[in-house]
Amino acid sequence: MKAESNFTIERRSMPPSGFSKPAVKGALQFILACYQDLLEEVRVGKHKNYKAAIKYEIKQIKKALGKVHIDRKGNLVER
């Protein structure tokens, strides 16, 4: 039980200092969209195997991070 209450306290302290809740939500939405795209690409056979798919997605994420950022409201917007 003690561990459970510690977990609850840790959850309440989210997001980490310096990150607003909307920014964390925006980041998680971005990650979700990346995984959804990757799952669909794997499903349709775009990549020769899962390792190639993950490497491709990492490149795509890096590319996107250079073009967009999360505003104070948690929305992804172009730089």
pTM of the model: 0.59
Percentages of the chain per state (helix, strand, coil), in multiples of 5: 65, 10, 25
Q: Return mean pLDDT, the chain.
A: 78
Cα–Cα distance for residue pair 79/70, rounded to 1 Å: 9
Tell me: the pLDDT tens digits for 24-57? Answer: 888 888 889 989 999 999 999 999 998 999 999 9
Among residues of the chain, what percentage have pLDDT more than 90? 29
What residues does each domain of the chain span? 18-78
Which of the 8 DSSP states describes residue 1?
Answer: -
Beta partners for residue 67, in sequence order: none
